Amino acid sequence: MVEVNACLKQLDNKDIADYEHNQLMRRLRQLIAQSWHTDEIRKLRPSPVDEAKWGFAVVENSLWQGVPNYLRELNEQLEENLGYKLPVEFVPVRFTSWMGGDRDGNPNVTADITRHVLLLSRWKATDLFLKDIQVLVSELSMVEATPELLALVGEEGAAEPYRYLMKNLRSRLMATQAWLEARLKGEELPKPEGLLTQNEELWEPLYACYQSLQACGMGIIANGDLLDTLRRVKCFGVPLVRIDIRQESTRHTEALGELTRYLGIGDYESWSEADKQAFLIRELNSKRPLLPRNWQPSAETREVLDTCQVIAEAPQGSIAAYVISMAKTPSDVLAVHLLLKEAGIGFAMPVAPLFETLDDLNNANDVMTQLLNIDWYRGLIQGKQMVMIGYSDSAKDAGVMAASWAQYQAQDALIKTCEKAGIELTLFHGRGGSIGRGGAPAHAALLSQPPGSLKGGLRVTEQGEMIRFKYGLPEITVSSLSLYTGAILEANLLPPPEPKESWRRIMDELSVISCDLYRGYVRENKDFVPYFRSATPEQELGKLPLGSRPAKRRPTGGVESLRAIPWIFAWTQNRLMLPAWLGAGTALQKVVEDGKQSELEAMCRDWPFFSTRLGMLEMVFAKADLWLAEYYDQRLVDKALWPLGKELRNLQEEDIKVVLAIANDSHLMADLPWIAESIQLRNIYTDPLNVLQAELLHRSRQAEKRRPGTGSSRRTSVNGHYCRDCGRYA
């Protein structure tokens, strides 16, 4: 992709010589042929290490150049409009990865894997910085320097002070890289002298050169490649990409339960929340170790403890946060802090509870209020708290309308609680790529947040399927980061209004009605699960080697154990798009029938949160195709279940009518005709894939004598739709 883009950019040059034009065209044909003759379907699932390597490739091929370019563009805009330059050390963006750190429901991510990925990330950082430093060794041949720099290099380096410093840094990077290579091979070597472990060790010699060049009137040189490297140190640094650790709360509870039973002091798992908190706070304040030296825990508990050990041993800054999925209580957070303390961690690791079901979102503020009232905890966090808001699982649990309102209310309450307590709150948005998983255009999504939600910065997930669309090339990276910057500035400088109390009451009503209808189908309708499994390729999706993580949190169980990604992906395949709208339109219709349409119209006009919700519904309906959804039913679903499919399609038709009425639009996407046109153009390619997929699924399921390659074709049809999980057509 990177080389294809480079060829196309050169071909845009009208002054290019004929010979060079022919060379570029030949190379372009070669690249297209290579892609065409490469199997589009992975035969084996990637390992977590494979996924991490792919992430490092994105850094090398795109972000490494894209971030400095973005900062140069931002600096130019500031200079031109405000007469203000960005400070050298100011880099408003950092990158963190879950690749190699997210073990929630993924048994393939172990403590050893996390340790390996951390080492691999550091190795890649040394490799990239070595290339930068080699350029600087070549460029920084200047002799004139400040007394401070000359004192730093001494007599030995006085002749070429800048080169001398760069060569020393190059030697340290090479020694660090060699040590990391040995560690990756499993060799245990003593740490070499000059091993780079902290960003300051990279920053200080580079910044000393920068200051000296500026002071000696060579600012044009200082602001070249050297400035780009300094900004890369601030953005990427020694770790290259920081890692988040994510684990489900029950794993920590089970580990402590096993420990307390071994110690003979009771069963932690069965204790009340008050007793758990009392025990945890007592042990957190204790100076003696809790873990017995000769204790042999179960494999599951050992894995939890080993992960904490990896965190404690990693250089500070390599791991960004410990995210607790399915967090429900204050003890879930305190438990992780205790396990980290027992591992011997020497710094305060940010621990972020992830609230991701409807009930947990509704209880999030109470949980955090209790935590902030604990003196020990307040002392630990030093005025900063991160909380993660789950979008995918809450939408899967309660439907998009109820989930989005619960997310808004949780954030609003947390903002006010933390402001009152003097705590800087960073909200971590766990949005998916698709609308059913909380996805939305970045600008609209940020402006629809509660007022004040971005004061503590923004932390947001970019799903794997979205990374190449937003950060696949340096130019796209600049565009994506600029979009986020503009939206954050606008949201902070021109915050959205507080919703009226009457609007809040309407949203409460919409939430209850939509959740009841959604759960009425998904949880209570006895025909729903059989219909879901036959009308969509849900069963086949689990066999696709799309990622290292299993499709289900647990190997057994029904829809409730299915992860949000395959849940959304399955419904996207048959074009019903059900999770992204079910319940919302019915709730809106009920409120309209109660005589509140004018108020809904005012909400749509004056409240970004509500207008964004309606806009996302319109986009989903524009991407859906009821004829194709019916075709899937006819080819794949038992006739006894056809009435349910027809009922759902009729619901969508009615939902479209009420959304258009509230938005005062004559047709879907009336305000965004270019998106509507894009969807229509892409349908030309995806509609045949849908028809082929339904037919191939039918043949496979009926156990007919298939032609050779039917299984591969079926997988291709699914793979060809994969990007539609993120709202894009393949």
CA dist., res. 85 & res. 77, Å (int): 9
Residue 62: pLDDT over 80: yes
Residue 547 pLDDT level (bands cut at 50, 70, 90): low
pLDDT digits 0-9 by tens, 408-436: 999 999 999 999 999 999 999 987 545 44
Residue 462 pLDDT level (bands cut at 50, 70, 90): confident
Residue 368 pLDDT level (bands cut at 50, 70, 90): very high
Query: For the ranges 30-39, 48-57, 316-325, which has the lowest average pLDDT?
Result: 30-39
In this prediction, residue 150 carries a pLDDT of 95
User: Which of the following is catalytic: 124, 396, 470, 596?
Assistant: 396
What mean pLDDT, rounded, does the chain reach?
90
Catalytic residue flag (residue 590) = no
Q: Contact at 8 Å (CB) between 686 and 729?
A: yes
Residue 541 pLDDT level (bands cut at 50, 70, 90): confident
Per DSSP, the three-state class of 324 is strand
How far from 214 is each of 25, 88, 144, 263, CA to CA, in Å?
44, 12, 11, 63
Q: Contact at 8 Å (CB) between 662 and 597?
A: yes
CA dist., res. 567 & res. 35, Å (int): 30
CA dist., res. 269 & res. 254, Å (int): 7
Residue 223: pLDDT over 90: yes
In this prediction, residue 728 carries a pLDDT of 33
In this prediction, residue 565 carries a pLDDT of 76
Please report, as a single letter, which amino acid is at residue 278. A
CA 132 to the chain's CA centroid: 28
Residue 554: pLDDT over 80: no
pLDDT digits 0-9 by tens, 468-525: 888 989 999 999 999 999 888 888 888 888 999 999 999 999 999 999 999 999 999 9
pLDDT digits 0-9 by tens, 227-242: 999 999 999 999 999 9
Query: For the ranges 32-46, 246-260, 509-523, 646-660, which has the lowest average pLDDT?
Result: 32-46
pLDDT digits 0-9 by tens, 669-727: 998 899 999 999 999 999 999 999 999 999 988 865 455 445 555 555 555 544 433 33
Q: Contact at 8 Å (CB) between 443 and 486?
A: yes
Q: Contact at 8 Å (CB) between 668 and 511?
A: no
Residue 592 pLDDT level (bands cut at 50, 70, 90): very high
CA dist., res. 501 & res. 299, Å (int): 52
Please report, as a single letter, which amino acid is at residue 57. A
Q: Which residue has the tokens 């059989």?
A: 530
CA dist., res. 330 & res. 297, Å (int): 25
Closest CA to 88 of 211, 261, 271, 172: 211
CA dist., res. 389 & res. 358, Å (int): 11
CA 190 to the chain's CA centroid: 36
Please report, as a single letter, which amino acid is at residue 86. L
- Report the pLDDT averaged over residues 340-354: 95
As given in the structure block, the two tokens for residue 635 are 């080819």
How far from 462 is each of 101, 442, 469, CA to CA, in Å?
15, 11, 10
In this prediction, residue 118 carries a pLDDT of 97
Q: In what order do the strands lie in the sheet with 424-430?
A: 96-97, 242-248, 319-325, 351-355, 384-390, 424-430, 458-460
- Please give the model's pTM, rounded to 2 decimal places: 0.89
Residue 103 pLDDT level (bands cut at 50, 70, 90): very high
Helices (H), 389-500: 392-398, 400-421, 442-447, 464-471, 474-493
Closest CA to 414 of 447, 455, 461: 455
Q: Contact at 8 Å (CB) between 45 and 545?
A: yes
- Report the pLDDT averaged over residues 605-626: 94
Reduced 3-state DSSP string for 73-126: HHHHHHHHHHCCCCCCCCCCCCCEECCCCECCCCCCCCHHHHHHHHHHHHHHHH
In this prediction, residue 439 carries a pLDDT of 47
Beta bridge partners of residue 247, listed in sequence order:
324
- CA torsion sign, 102 to 104 to 105 to 109? positive
φ/ψ of 38, rounded to 5, equals -95, 135
As given in the structure block, the two tokens for residue 480 are 């994506």
Residue 398: pLDDT over 60: yes
In this prediction, residue 724 carries a pLDDT of 35
φ/ψ of 458, rounded to 5, equals -130, 130
In this prediction, residue 722 carries a pLDDT of 41
CA dist., res. 201 & res. 534, Å (int): 58
**What is the CATH topology of the domain spanning 47-235?**
de novo design (two linked rop proteins) (1.20.1440)
Higher pLDDT, 432 or 571: 571
Task: Kindly state the DSSP code that residue 542 receives in the 8-state scheme.
Answer: T
Residue 555: pLDDT over 80: no
Work out the angle between the directed axes of helices 501-519 and 400-421 (0-180°, nearest 10): 130
Q: Contact at 8 Å (CB) between 714 and 693?
A: yes
- Report the pLDDT averaged over residues 381-390: 95
Residue 151: pLDDT over 70: yes
Residue 81: pLDDT over 50: yes
Q: Which residue has the tokens 């060799």?
A: 187
Closest CA to 349 of 357, 359, 338: 338
Please report, as a single letter, which amino acid is at residue 193. E
Query: Domain 245-463 class?
Result: alpha beta
In this prediction, residue 717 carries a pLDDT of 54
Highest mean pLDDT among 394-398, 537-541, 660-664: 660-664
Cβ neighbours of residue 73 closer than 8 Å, sequence gap 6 or more: 478, 482
In this prediction, residue 437 carries a pLDDT of 45
CA dist., res. 715 & res. 717, Å (int): 5
As given in the structure block, the two tokens for residue 194 are 């000059």
Residue 83: pLDDT over 80: yes
As given in the structure block, the two tokens for residue 153 are 């290099």
